[in-house]
Amino acid sequence: MKTQSAFIIGAAKQQDEVGSLEKVLLLESQLLQFGVTPKHLVIEPLATDWHSPEKKHHFRSGCAPIEALAEAKKLIENGEAAVVISGEDHIRTGYSRENRLDKMAVYGQSYPLTQAYTDLARAFSEHHTITEQQFKEFSSALFENYQMSFRNALSDNFTPELLPDLRWHKPITGLFRGVDCANPMVDFSGRLLLARADIAEKLGVDKSQWLKVKAVGLSRLEGDGEEFLSDISRYEHLQQAYQKACDEANIDFVQQFKGGDALLETYTCYPVVPMAFLLISGLVEALEEIPEFLAEHSITITGGMNLAKAAWNNPALNALVLMHHRLCDGPEKLGLIHGNGGLGYRQGIAIVERVDT
């Protein structure tokens, strides 16, 4: 029997009261009328204890949406009719400042995320023999790139007031400015509906709105945090996830992307992560090529996790929703979305493709 392919046939989000999940919820209610109850996969919110065991069909960390997509793909390939992936986190209005900061201190109060990522960036720089000054230059080029994507994503709705003011450009650690870090101050809910081809047809979803989940590559190290900094900083596991996805999709992503046929959403929580992605993917052959490469190519469709905001475990879900819209409405055919979990011990790469009608 032929293995079923998984298609994203509905994608919606609401961010700070802008947008609506209605389209996807309507498709879900139609499914129920057909007697089909979709499996539900949940991206957990910040409120969930970071160190508690993960429940079945629940996913945690910045890699969670990619891991959920891998699970949805597997379920549909094994005969499941439809799968919903949802994530909701009202970080801006749902937590007190004290509670929010407490929940985000996943490595303890004495080792904040900013310090952890600074240490990781130093280990990465040492491994690749780049100076602190070079690292800052590359970070600056990255933020310029995000700004361009952010303007493009908002189009006519862009106003300069949406950009961070001057205080965010000041250093907060030896290597990072405020604008270099993910900004979690947002209320977000997002939803994807995946289905088999026969179910998508039964629902009457136009084929122009189908995105095939071509491949998902996952990789993780044995542990996370300070004692795994050296292992994480080599990003060999990111390379494994990327290679798995490209091999399964049977594509040369570098060629597709540089040729203008593919879109990319790198994970941009701190500059070290997209730098690592650009290098291991082969988009650049040396870190020194980053500024020149970024002058030519957008590496996010959202505008990145500072400008477009980052609802804790949901940025890759936000990217998947936007990727669905961009690919279904634009000239490009392929999209790659990167997820990075914890300090980077979990890595995930998803490759999706518009269905030719």
Question: pLDDT 10s digit of each residue in the chain, 357 long?
Answer: 578 999 999 999 999 999 999 999 999 999 999 999 999 999 999 999 999 999 999 999 999 999 999 999 999 999 999 999 999 999 999 999 999 999 999 999 999 999 999 999 999 999 999 999 999 999 999 999 999 999 999 989 999 999 999 999 999 999 999 999 999 999 999 999 999 999 999 999 999 999 999 999 999 999 999 999 999 999 999 999 999 999 999 999 999 999 999 999 999 999 999 999 999 999 999 999 999 999 999 999 999 999 999 999 999 999 999 999 999 999 999 999 999 999 999 999 999 999 986
Dist. CA 251–CA 244, nearest whole Å? 11
What CATH number is associated with residue 52? Answer: 3.40.47.10
Tokens representing 186 are 């947002």
| Torsion angles phi and psi, residue 314, rounded to 5 | -105, -5
Domains contained in the chain, number:
1
Reported as half-sphere exposure (CB side, CA atoms, 13 A), residue 206 has a value of 4
Nearest to 67 by CA among 94, 88, 85, 47: 85
Confirm whether 325 is domain-assigned: yes
Confirm whether 157 is domain-assigned: no
Confirm whether 118 is domain-assigned: no
In residues, how long is the chain?
357
Confirm whether 256 is domain-assigned: yes
The answer to whether 143 touches 179, Cβ cutoff 8 Å, is: yes
Confirm whether 301 is domain-assigned: yes
Give the chain's end-to-end CA distance (angstroms, integer).
24
Confirm whether 151 is domain-assigned: no
Confirm whether 236 is domain-assigned: yes
**Largest alpha-carbon pair distance within the chain?**
61
The answer to whether 301 touches 319, Cβ cutoff 8 Å, is: yes
Dist. CA 226–CA 217, nearest whole Å? 25
Confirm whether 220 is domain-assigned: yes
Dist. CA 320–CA 337, nearest whole Å? 7
pLDDT of 1 reads 58
User: Within 10 Å of residue 336's Cβ, how many Cβ atoms?
Assistant: 27
Tokens representing 12 are 């919606």
Reported as half-sphere exposure (CB side, CA atoms, 13 A), residue 26 has a value of 11
Domain interval for residue 288: 7-93+181-354
Reported as half-sphere exposure (CB side, CA atoms, 13 A), residue 106 has a value of 23
